[in-house]
Structure 1
Amino acid sequence: MLEKRRHMRVKPSGLVPKVGKIYVDAKSPTVDCQVIDISAGGACLYVQGTAPIPKRFVFLHGGAKKSSRLVWERGRKIGIQF
């Protein structure tokens, strides 16, 4: 089955960082994550640890902060939209 996506996703390689952080608020520690694939409109991440992922957060990746929302979650693998 083909998925209809607005943007083509690519696996990070070369100079694109393979890791990111999820920032919820000043009182909560950041959550480390591995970037599985990323596009201009979202990303697929593997989240480290057991902390629950909120519906809205800031995704820190490669020096950029992106306001994000959780789209889907399967175990520790999540899909986000910027």
Structure 2
Amino acid sequence: MKARHLNREVRRTRHLSAWIKVEGRAHCECQVLDISTHGAKVIVASAVPDRFELAFSEGGQHRVCEVVWRRAKMLGVKFIF
């Protein structure tokens, strides 16, 4: 049996502050632990919906996200737009 190799996208470790926005309003602050072109790993303090906007504190960038996995207060999200 051949070993199966998964090609993972390069992730960059970051410790960025961001805000989770739901329906255009700030919902809660969060920390981005790592980020790639197509997604991020985020730590949140409260429950968040499956789809939200991630607004980075530095640079003013916003990304629409969809939750791919959840582990306690840690989320894996993919960027939609």
The alignment partner of 1:30 has SS state of strand
TM-score normalised by L of structure 1: 0.76
5+ long unaligned stretches in structure 1: none
TM-score normalised by L of structure 2: 0.77
Aligned length: 73
Alpha-carbon distance in structure 1 between the residues aligned to 2:76 and 2:7:
15
5+ long unaligned stretches in structure 2: none
Q: Does 1:53 align with 2:48?
A: yes
Q: Structure 1's 25 and 9: CA in aligned 2 closer, same or farther, altered over 3 A?
A: same
**C-alpha deviation, 1:3, in angstroms:** 5.2
Q: CA RMSD in A?
A: 1.8
- The 5 A counterparts of 1:1-82 are 4-5=7-8, 7-12=9-14, 18-26=16-24, 29-48=26-45, 50=46, 52-61=47-56, 62=58, 63-82=60-79
**Structure number having the greater strand percentage:** 2
Higher Cα radius of gyration: 2
Alpha-carbon distance in structure 1 between the residues aligned to 2:41 and 2:31:
9
Alpha-carbon distance in structure 1 between the residues aligned to 2:10 and 2:19:
22
Given that residues 41 and 74 in structure 2 are in contact (C-alpha distance below 8 angstroms), is that contact kept between their aligned partners in structure 1? Answer: yes
Please identify runs of 4+ aligned residues in structure 1 that moved more than 6 A.
Answer: none
